[in-house]
């Protein structure tokens, strides 16, 4: 099943790959696909979080890389490095394109930040400040 996820994430084509893309994620974003379907698709969906744990994302457009949950900058996902901010994030599943599409980055929190959280936010903004969003699909390796 992981081989199917790999093929889908790499943009490979073929009869069944094209069918899955057309039916379940017409926006061409496998990691944002939702819904259930036939048993084969449900099995792929069940393995998606496991696949994402071992994947490294190279951000281009940022539409298929989750800001907090995926490994795309540094050596660990941002939720792990900035756990204090992740725990109070208003939208923990949003994508890099959503966060980085505005300046300053669109990070919203459920609570007012404390002193240590403000320091963490400054460190996070410094880290992601070097990232530029471009055209094209994100690359998974």
To which H or E segment does residue 127 belong?
A: helix 115-128
HSE toward the beta carbon, residue 132, CA cutoff 13 A: 2
- Give percent of the chain with pLDDT exceeding 70: 94
Alpha-carbon distance 95 to 72, whole Å? 11
Query: φ and ψ at 89, to 5 degrees?
Result: -65, 135
H-type helices in 10-76, by residue range? 15-24, 39-54
Run of H or E residues at 27: none
pLDDT given for residue 45 in this prediction: 79
Q: Is residue 133 predicted with pLDDT exceeding 80? A: yes
- Which pLDDT score is estimated for 71? 94
pLDDT tens for each residue of 12-48? 888 888 888 888 876 666 776 766 778 888 888 787 7
Average pLDDT over residues 116-131: 93
């Amino acid at each position: 099943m992981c081989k199917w996820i790999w093929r889908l994430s790499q943009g490979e084509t073929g009869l069944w790959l094209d069918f899955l893309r057309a039916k379940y994620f017409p926006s061409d974003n496998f990691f944002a696909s939702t819904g259930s379907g036939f048993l084969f698709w449900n099995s792929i969906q069940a393995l998606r979080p496991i696949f994402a744990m071992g994947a490294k994302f190279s951000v281009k457009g940022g539409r298929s890389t989750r800001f907090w949950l995926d490994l795309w900058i540094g050596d660990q996902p941002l939720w792990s490095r900035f756990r204090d901010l992740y725990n109070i994030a208003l939208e923990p599943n949003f994508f890099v394109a959503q966060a980085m599409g505005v300046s300053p980055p669109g990070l919203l929190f459920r609570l007012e930040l404390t002193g240590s959280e403000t320091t963490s936010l400054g460190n996070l903004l410094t880290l992601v400040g070097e990232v530029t969003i471009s055209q094209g699909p994100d690359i998974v390796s």
